[in-house]
Structure 1
Amino acid sequence: MPTPKFAPVTRTRAHEAVKAQIEEKILQGQFQPGDRLPSERELCAQMGVSRPTVREAMRTLESAGVVVLRPNDPTGGAIVRMPDGANLERSLLDLVRYSQLSVGDLIGFRLLLETTACHLAAQRRDETQIAGIVHAQQVVEEAVEGGTNEAYISADIEFHVSVARASGNRLLELCTSAVRAAMAGLIGDATLKGGDAVKRDFVRRHRAIVDAIRRGEPGRASSCARRDIVNYYLPLVEGDEARTLSALEAFVQSATSNAPPSAV
């Protein structure tokens, strides 16, 4: 495939025009994840801009998770990366830190995500994905017996992400990963004050979710997830947020219990 060429850009907010061209080439498939972009010198020559302009564009692309920069790499340009949920996670954390989202908002969103993911995973009963869930659960149990809180939280996140993956919906998977990681960064320790006893209770509850998914029981899988979230996280909020979460729980309970049998 011939090397994609870039056009000269105007000097007004030139770094944005540079960024836009690079993004467009990636979206068009002219650069794939893992490909190396032209060097700074080549981009400057093709677009008619200065190196600081190109560098500013690259920093913006790196912050957006579009490329990986390799400082002092003698081979030249940045590497196009595969998008993931890391930026979504950072955005959620920033929104909470700057009081645009509350912890209650995260808990409510997680309630919707995880009950839906469990329901769909139990409907689909994909054996390969279920094997991934079982493995993730084993890692959680190992972290309880011989790991740190950090290892346990990481394994717990991966367990719930594996369930979301089994739902067959990529956005559910990405959002579950982002929301759980954001919550772990904010209130992870608050839910583990009971030590290993709390962790073992989570393990017991996880086993119930795994059993329901393996048996193809969407209602029970969703119900298990709903009770886990409400039992552990509802006490962390109060006032209007607590009432909102209680109303959301009632909605989820009604929606999942009245859902028609799956045709999958």
Structure 2
Amino acid sequence: MPFHKVQTEKLSQSVVRQIELLILRGILRPGERLPSERELAERMDVSRPSLREAIADLQDRGLLATRPNAGVYVADVLGSAFSPALVELFARHDEAVFDYLAFRRDMEGLAAERAARLGSDTDLRVIAAILEKMEAAHGKRDPSDEAALDAQFHMAIIEASHNVVMLHMMRSMFDLLRQGVFYNRQMMFKARTTREALLDQHRTINAALQARDPAAARAAVEAHLGFVETALSEQFRAERNEAVARQRLEHEQGR
């Protein structure tokens, strides 16, 4: 008969499962510090020995890491998503940039469609709050804050899609973008007209999400990333043309 005796789960395993789910759902993020042992034991209403046993288990499986004199952190579980050799290969070839953007367009279009259907009211408030911060940062001459909020806005949509596989995959992709592997994001925000267009596009995406219109949300994301692709293509072409022009100038000056 397919029945077994019911066994009471150890407290430490309950702690393990709760922390696992927080990491899986993207609530605890790579590099995030956990509360102190005393505080965490109080919050979870478990003994400190049970908590230590759970933390040790999670460390053994590579989900948590201890930093000397700094506490326990969520491990950089995204770090191994791409090998260093592949990351370097991405960085050396423009072809990877446009494949990356095409991949994002497909995945984020789907995420926006899902977020409009499946996102909670709180999810949509988070997205709207980030857009408000983008609008506040838009007036600053330095575009770095607006560029950082741009990434947060897109990740909030992916989080609102409530697909944990998509969430972790896209976090790894955005981590490469933050490192400047594909292109310098801040360059996109340096031209005032481009900044205006990008902000308007984010407003359109947000409006479609708040209206819970899946088709419009997907179309708005796809149009936005199409704009980014065109702008980058023009930027790369201008850089190549400038390099050729400098060669001509050097040749003429040397004659």
CA distance in 1, matches of 2:56, 2:144: 35
Distance 1:216 1:87 in 2: 36
1:143 maps to 137
Partner SS state of residue 146, structure 1: coil
Alpha-carbon distance, 1:108 to partner: 1.7
> What secondary structure is seen at the aligned counterpart in 2 of 1:67?
strand
Percent identity of equivalent pairs:
17
Are 1:81 and 2:38 matched, yes or no?
no
Q: Distance in 2 between matches of 1:161 and 1:90?
A: 23
CA distance 1:192–1:135, shift in 2 (3 Å): same
Match of 1:210 among 206, 209, 216: 206
The answer as to 2:102 corresponding to 1:105 is no
C-alpha distance in structure 1 between counterparts of 2:177 and 2:112, whole Å: 19
**1:101 CA drift (Å):** 7.8
Q: Is the 8 A contact 1:192 1:198 kept in 2?
A: yes
> Where in structure 2 are there 5+ consecutive unaligned residues?
1-9, 13-50, 235-255
TM-score (norm 1): 0.57
What residue in structure 2 maps to residue 191 of structure 1? 188
Distance 2:76 2:148 in 1: 21
- Structure 1 unaligned spans of 5+: 4-28, 38-57, 239-264
Query: 1:121 and 1:230 mapped to 2: Cα distance?
Result: 20
Question: 1:192: Cα distance to partner?
Answer: 2.5
Match of 2:164 among 165, 170, 176: 170
Equivalent pairs, count? 183
The whole-number CA distance in structure 2 between the counterparts of 1:111 and 1:181 is 17
**Match of 2:65?**
67
Quick one: which amino acid aligns to residue 214 of structure 1? Answer: Q
Query: How far apart, in 1, do the equivalents of 2:134 and 2:106 lie?
Result: 23
1: distance between equivalents of 2:196 and 2:176?
22
2:116 and 2:214 in contact (8 A); partners too:
yes
Bigger shift: residues 88-97 or 161-170: 88-97
User: What residue in structure 1 maps to residue 108 of structure 2?
Assistant: 114
Q: CA–CA distance in 1 between the matches of 2:79 and 2:149?
A: 17
Query: Partner residue of 2:251?
Result: none
In the alignment, which of 116, 132, 136 is matched to residue 126 of structure 2? 132
Compared CA separation, residues 88 and 117, structure 1 to 2 (3 A): same
Structure 2 CA distance for partners of 1:235 and 1:150, relative to 1, 3 Å: closer
Residue 229 (structure 2) aligns with: 233
Instruction: Please tell me the residue identity of whatever aligns with 1:140.
Output: M
Q: 1:135 aligns to what SS in structure 2?
A: helix
What is the alpha-carbon distance in structure 2 between the residues aligned to residue 200 and residue 235 of structure 1?
A: 13
Give 1:222 shift: 0.3
Change (3 A) 1:90 1:224: farther
Q: CA deviation at 1:130?
A: 0.3
Letter of the aligned partner of 1:139 in structure 2?
Answer: K
What is the Cα deviation at residue 177 of structure 1? 3.2
- Residue 235 and residue 139 in structure 1: after superposition, are their counterparts in 2 closer, same or farther (change >3 A)? closer
Cα distance, 1:149–1:214 mapped onto 2, change above 3 Å: same
Structure 1 vs Structure 2 CA RMSD: 3.8
Following the alignment from structure 2 to structure 1, what is the Cα–Cα distance between the partners of residues 83 and 232?
A: 22
Q: Distance in 1 between matches of 2:72 and 2:198?
A: 40
Going from structure 1 to structure 2, the CA distance change for 1:69 and 1:155 (only over 3 Å counts) comes to same
Query: Matched residues in 2 for 1:118 and 1:198: separation?
Result: 23
Structure 1 stretch displaced more, 143-152 or 106-115:
143-152
**What is the CA-CA distance between 1:69 and the residue it aligns to?**
2.9
Query: Per the alignment, in what secondary structure is the counterpart of residue 139 of structure 2?
Result: helix
CA shift in 2, pair 1:211/1:80, >3 Å: closer
Q: 3-state SS of the aligned residue for 1:108?
A: helix
